[in-house]
Amino acid sequence: MFKSAINGLTTAWKGMTLTVGHLFASKKTREVTRVSDDNYFKRLEGTNTIQYPKQQLPVPEVGRYQLDVEMDDCIVCDLCAKICPVDCIDIVSIKATEAIGQTSDGTTKRLYAAKFDIDMAKCMYCGLCTVVCPTECITMTNTYDRTVFELSDLVYEFSDMTKEEADEKRMLLEKQNAEKQAAKLAAMKKKEEGQ
Amino acid sequence: MSNYLIYFLVAVGLFAFAALFALFGVYAERKISAYIQDRLGPTETGKFGTLQTFADILKMIQKELIIPAKADKWLFVLAPVIIFVAVYMGFAALPWGPGLVPSKINIGLYYVFAIISIETLGILMAGWGSNNKYSILGAMRSAAQIISYEIPAGFAIISAVMIAQSLDLQVIATQQGVASAETVKFLGFWDVTNIGGILSWNIFRAPHLIVAFVIYFIASLAEANRAPFDIPEAESELVAGFHTEYSGLGFAFVFLAEYSMMFLVSMIGVVLFLGAWNTPLPNIAGLRLADWTTGIFWGIFWVAIKSLALVGVQMWIRWTLPRLRVDQLMNLCWKVLTPLAFACILISGVWRLWLM
């Protein structure tokens, strides 16, 4: 009985010295360091809390968080929408009547993007779209804290065309197509006549 | 007439003290637990989160007092009041300074222990009245625990009372310092009546009272339902034990009672073993430290500091030691603490006869 009582008291005392050590070590608060820091996984002294909005853990600049599209570099090839496992990218393209410029890496742009929506509520952050993109215009950023009040706000619209502009481009394309068709018909007719 | 006015003022003052202490105690507990667990605790409300508990109590006062449909309404509503009043009335007999005691009764210690036993009744009422299996289990555990632990606590107290030869808490307090009318001997051989200070506290007048104090302290944790003896509210098993169904002010009263009880049992421990309102500083020749630091305001200061230190130890223990199982609880009470407390009584008797 005495042995177990004394054993109980000594072990309780041991535990209490441990906690009182932590109690007085708490004068030191945590410094926020990168994961890549040498002593990141070292046993922490003092309090461990990161006071989130005031302190933030640094994340790599190219994280796998929110998607972002640089529309000037986009050739509207639709590869990202095709590879997406959850179909969260919705692209509507309009063929241009002529080459409409070049991307920063020299690829010629021939398509307008009438619609380029990414539904971040569906996105599973696999990053496949960023891999297949030929011009590397779709990227994942280091923004991880994003809150919206409406579910529809999670659909990011990247297209820079207004509806009128898109309609105009469609009209132009139709006109060009009609002209081409007419020219084709005329050529065929000529051919038939010539025989 | 003015007498009654004073009574009311004293009662209101004690209530205000209990309420303020509960607010401070909850804040201190949250901070201590946070630091022990390497967290920060409340930081946002007020400087260093000091207004957190005031905000909490404001919120709690505004909440609805929900009475479950199948509850026994009378018992359910009365229980928190009885729990709190039992503890609150215990404060009436505790001395705060030389000549400063809310109610001077010659069986003060007996009264205090009688009145805080009624808390068990309140807890049983709460458990039964809630009509909830967790509540009744918690209440039954609480009753078993409090009644068991009153035995070692009582014997530890008796061993101190045998040294002091009085049940009047003010008399016990006066004996342990320079104000003592009788001779005080340090460890039974050195006359320290005029030296006072820490040397004339009960635990040094008779060193076996250190053991008695430890027994009393452990038992008082169980009586206040504090960890590691918090099986009546065992969160991991019983939701919140006997106060599961309480909300709003009812819950606030149960909480208030818990923190008042912590202070009350600490203060009884201080009065009986740690020199009550007497200063720990002894007179050293011309340096009359004990004489200088004795008085009404010094008395309040010392008794508050000592009690708060004990409350701090209670919190430290709570956030360190895991909860005891029911059988371990009873083992500790009946097989360890009770025999040791008996031994303390025996030594007290011998000490009184041969050394005092």
- Asked if residue A151 has pLDDT above 80, the reply is yes
Point out the residues of chain B with pLDDT beneath 50: none
Q: Does A1 touch chain B (CB under 8 A)?
A: yes
**C-beta atoms of A22 and B32 within 8 A:** no
3-state SS assignment for residue B100: strand
Residues of A in contact with B34 (CB under 8 A): 26, 47
Query: Distance from CA of residue B313 to its chain's centroid?
Result: 12
Structural domain range at position B98: 67-355
Domain ranges of chain A: 1-58, 67-170
The confidence score (pLDDT) of residue B355 equals 74
Q: Does B38 touch chain A (CB under 8 A)?
A: yes
Residue B48 lies inside a defined structural domain of this protein? no
**C-beta atoms of A15 and B336 within 8 A:** no
Q: Kindly state the average pLDDT of the residues A41-56.
A: 77
Cβ-proximal residues to B180 (8 Å cutoff; 6+ apart), any chain:
B174, B193, B196, B200
In chain B, how many domains are there? 1
Q: Does A48 touch chain B (CB under 8 A)?
A: yes
B206 is written with which tokens? 């008779």
pLDDT-derived band at A86 (thresholds 50, 70, 90) equals very high
Q: How far apart are CA B62 and CA B56, in angstroms?
A: 10
Q: Does A12 touch chain B (CB under 8 A)?
A: yes
- Asked if residue A47 has pLDDT above 70, the reply is yes
Q: How far apart are CA A112 and CA A20, in angstroms?
A: 67
CB atoms within 10 A of CB A103: 17
CA angle A18, A23, A26 (to 5 degrees): 120
* Under 8 Å between Cβ of B289 and B115: no
Query: Position of tokens 């000594």?
Result: A10
- Phi/psi zone of residue A173: left (φ > 0), alpha (ψ -120 to 50 degrees), beta? alpha
Return the higher-pLDDT residue of B264 and A105: B264
Residue B18 lies inside a defined structural domain of this protein? no
Cβ-proximal residues to B41 (8 Å cutoff; 6+ apart), any chain:
B30, B31, B33, B34, B35, B49
Distances from the Cα of A186 to the Cα of A162, A195, B243, B290, angstroms = 36, 14, 93, 122
Residues of B in contact with A51 (CB under 8 A): 40, 43
DSSP string, A76-137: ---HHHHH-TT--EEEEEEE-SS---B-TTSPBP-EEEEEEEEETTT-----HHHHH-TT--
Return the H-helix or E-strand segment holding B191: strand B190-191
B167 is written with which tokens? 């049940």
Q: What is the CA radius of gyration of chain A?
A: 31
pLDDT-derived band at A44 (thresholds 50, 70, 90) equals low
Q: Kindly state the average pLDDT of the residues A53-68.
A: 82
**C-beta atoms of B40 and A1 within 8 A:** no
Q: Does B39 touch chain A (CB under 8 A)?
A: yes
- Phi/psi zone of residue A67: left (φ > 0), alpha (ψ -120 to 50 degrees), beta? beta
Residue B122 lies inside a defined structural domain of this protein? yes
B280 is written with which tokens? 């720990």
Residue B27 lies inside a defined structural domain of this protein? no
The confidence score (pLDDT) of residue B309 equals 92
The confidence score (pLDDT) of residue A195 equals 67
Buried b (16+ CB within 10 A) or exposed e, B240-261: bbbbbbbeebbbbbbbbbbbbb
B80 is written with which tokens? 């928190």
pLDDT-derived band at A43 (thresholds 50, 70, 90) equals low
Q: How far apart are CA B227 and CA B221, in angstroms?
A: 7
* Under 8 Å between Cβ of A70 and A107: no
The confidence score (pLDDT) of residue A85 equals 92
Q: How far apart are CA B73 and CA B51, in angstroms?
A: 34
* ipTM for this model: 0.70
The correct CATH number of A67-170 out of 3.30.540.10, 3.30.70.3270, 3.90.180.10, 3.90.1150.10 is 3.30.70.3270
* Under 8 Å between Cβ of B170 and B103: no
- Of A107-116, A179-188, B173-182, B205-214, least confident by mean pLDDT is B173-182
**Exposure of B238 in the CB half-sphere (CA atoms within 13 A):** 23
Residue B62 lies inside a defined structural domain of this protein? no
Q: Does A17 touch chain B (CB under 8 A)?
A: no
**C-beta atoms of A19 and B316 within 8 A:** yes
Residues of B in contact with A25 (CB under 8 A): 38
Query: Position of tokens 């003290």?
Result: B17
